[in-house]
Amino acid sequence: MKAFLGFSSGQDGVLALYKTLNETDYDVYAINVQHKQIFAKNNIKYHEPYRIDIINWLKESCRDFVYDSIVDPVSHWSPRWQGEKDYSEVSEEKINEWRRKYKTIYYIEILEQWYAYAKIAQKLECDIIVAGHDIIQVQNTIRFSSPELVNMISGIPVSFPLRGLGRIGIYHLLPEELKERIAPCDDFKSMRTSGPCGKCRKCITKEVYEKLYLTKKYTIRQLDEIYYNSYVNNHIKDSSNKHGMDGLERLLNT
């Protein structure tokens, strides 16, 4: 059985890959899909050494698998549905429905990502797509019709092995060797000049884990509940899991 996994240097995708390698006998294809018009060239280049370091450790410590990095041409899913890609797999009725619903760049990026996943997994003849999404990301992904899109294009089912976990729970389950290897900060400009920014999701996650969990002030379950509840309470149209960090950040400041 072949499994496709979209892979970056972030904690979610790393844990999903680690679990898939250790808990299944799938032939794993870990593919880094670079949307060259969505992600800045410098950002892609910044993450590459972390990805390679993680891949090498996983191959040595778990088992062998296929890794590749693909540059995907973006068509920009828009209300007008214009672009280079072939959307013939999607019915006109569904296209019209999504035209009405998805009009912002946030939705466009998500649909672009899942379109690429479906087409690459189909080309590789994979039997399943494994997604490294946490409890909030899973809800957003389903709400944005992404698994429905994948099914229309390829018929390949999507698995969410981290669907019950929040950011702190996912970070906690990473082996120490992988905690040390994931990209420590989302801000490559800050990393280049002065080190971790201290404000992004990755920085806050690490700080919460070290200051609130390792000091035994909170349990992992409590911290993940705060993460999820913060998202629910801050939920607005076009929101993402970044709103879940608000509650954790407030804990650090009290």
162-168 average pLDDT score: 96
Residue 7 has pLDDT above 70, yes or no: yes
Residue 10 has pLDDT above 50, yes or no: yes
pLDDT band for 185, please (50, 70, 90 cuts): very high
Task: Say if residue 86 is exposed, middle or buried (CB neighbours under 10 Å; 0-12, 13-18, 19+).
Answer: exposed
Residue 106 has pLDDT above 70, yes or no: no
Torsion, CA 58, CA 59, CA 65, CA 67, rounded to 10: 70
36-62 average pLDDT score: 82
Terminal CA-to-CA distance of the chain, rounded, Å?
Answer: 49
Is residue 204 within 8 A of residue 252, CB to CB? The reply is yes
Is residue 23 within 8 A of residue 62, CB to CB? The reply is no
Residue 82 has pLDDT above 70, yes or no: no
> What does the alpha-carbon distance between residue 91 and residue 104 come to, in Å, rounded to a whole number?
21
pLDDT band for 74, please (50, 70, 90 cuts): low
144-157 average pLDDT score: 87
Query: Nearest-CA neighbor of 144 among 111, 105, 182?
Result: 111
- pTM for the full predicted model: 0.89
Residue 225 has pLDDT above 60, yes or no: yes
pLDDT band for 80, please (50, 70, 90 cuts): very low
Is residue 157 within 8 A of residue 128, CB to CB? The reply is yes
Ranges of each domain in the chain: 2-159, 184-252
137-159 average pLDDT score: 87
E-state strands within the chain: 2-6, 27-35, 66-72, 128-130, 158-159
> What does the alpha-carbon distance between residue 246 and residue 249 come to, in Å, rounded to a whole number?
5
Q: Would you tell me which CATH number, out of the four given (3.40.50.620, 2.40.30.10, 3.40.50.20, 3.50.50.60), belongs to the domain 2-159?
A: 3.40.50.620
Query: Nearest-CA neighbor of 118 among 155, 162, 143?
Result: 155
Residue 240 has pLDDT above 80, yes or no: no
pLDDT band for 15, please (50, 70, 90 cuts): very high
> What does the alpha-carbon distance between residue 76 and residue 98 come to, in Å, rounded to a whole number?
13
Residue 88 has pLDDT above 50, yes or no: yes
